[in-house]
Amino acid sequence: MNEFAMYASDLLDGRKALVTGGGTGIGKAIATGLSMAGADVVIAARRAEVLDETAAEITAMSGRPVTTDLVDIRDLDTVTALAQRQGDIDILINNAGGQFPQKARDFSPNGWRTVIDLNLNGTWNMVQAFGNIMLDAGGGSICNIVATVGRGIPGIAHSASARAGVVELSKTLAYEWGPKVRINCVAPGQFRTDAYDNTYEEGVGDGFVEQPLPHVGHVSDIANAAVFLVSPTARFITGETLYVDGGLTVQGPMSALPPGGFPERNEPSPHR
């Protein structure tokens, strides 16, 4: 099966889409999905070489040109400059982000700040810069890639807080920008991208078997959800968060640290 061929190849004809972090992993899959559905895609991040390689790969699959551009979403000046170059977009996917796993009690002030700055402030920089242009131009659609927030994510309290902020931001803007700009989120469960494998210890997510769909997701699962949400097929959906997590948040283990990562949880409770 071609995982990226879920939609008609002209679904997004004539639309321009920008994907942050589109050179790797989930962002690359989303960019591929958008291109396969007919959009003119721009992928933007910090590493030109990675972006160029990915653009060529996507073009080989979809037959459509893919543009690359540079941005550091934490740096407002580069976001503003990107918006001046690529402001005429109809679709924005805020996928760039990430964090490191650590117990909250060990976070340094700068560690906390860095993750909030990337995932909440960085996303906000993009949303405001491009959202304002969409509002002036008449409309558009935004999709923010977050994480499975809603019941806490032990081991990444900084990122969980930032992503919850993005979910609430999206709901708020869905109202404020309602008639013109739709804004939704996709919440991925666990996806074994290169970045994931490089960041998380062996054993994280081993409890998959307890998840309703007991296997790892494919990045195209996220891509298909994101393409749906930004496409006219989802024209009556805004302020929503779509969980693509194999049911992890319904029932499953949730920790970014490997099993045994919180031995203090076996200590007697002072609350009894």
Ligand X SMILES: NC(=O)C1=CN([C@@H]2O[C@H](COP(=O)(O)OP(=O)(O)OC[C@H]3O[C@@H](n4cnc5c(N)ncnc54)[C@H](OP(=O)(O)O)[C@@H]3O)[C@@H](O)[C@H]2O)C=CC1
Which positions lie near ligand 8Z2, rule CB under 6 A? 98-100, 102, 108, 110-111, 114-115, 118, 147, 153, 156, 190, 195-196, 199, 204-205, 207, 248, 253-256
Give every CB contact of residue 1 below 8 A, 6+ residues apart in sequence.
none
In this complex, which beta carbon is closest to ligand X, that of residue 118 or of residue 167? 118
Residue type at position 268: P
Number of C-beta neighbours around residue 83 at 10 A: 21
In this complex, which beta carbon is closest to ligand 8Z2, that of residue 33 or of residue 246? 246
Tell me how far, at minimum, the Cβ of 63 lies from ligand X, in Å: 23
- By CB under 6 A, residue 73 contacts ligand X: yes
* Residue 239 site contact among ligand X, ligand 8Z2, none (CB < 5 to 8 Å, cut-off depends on kind): none
Residue type at position 135: L
Which of 114, 189, 112 has its CA nearest to residue 147? 189
- By CB under 6 A, residue 190 contacts ligand X: yes
In whole angstroms, what is the distance from residue 271 CA to residue 252 CA? 26
Give every CB contact of residue 110 below 8 A, 6+ residues apart in sequence.
none
- Please identify, among the stretches 58-66, 176-184, 189-197, 232-240, the one whose residues bind ligand X according to the rule CB under 6 A: 189-197
- Please identify, among the stretches 70-78, 130-138, 234-242, 252-260, the one whose residues bind ligand X according to the rule CB under 6 A: 70-78
- By CB under 6 A, residue 21 contacts ligand X: yes
Ranges of H-type helices in the chain:
25-36, 48-62, 76-86, 109-116, 122-137, 157-176, 194-199, 219-230
* Residue 20 site contact among ligand 8Z2, ligand X, none (CB < 5 to 8 Å, cut-off depends on kind): ligand X
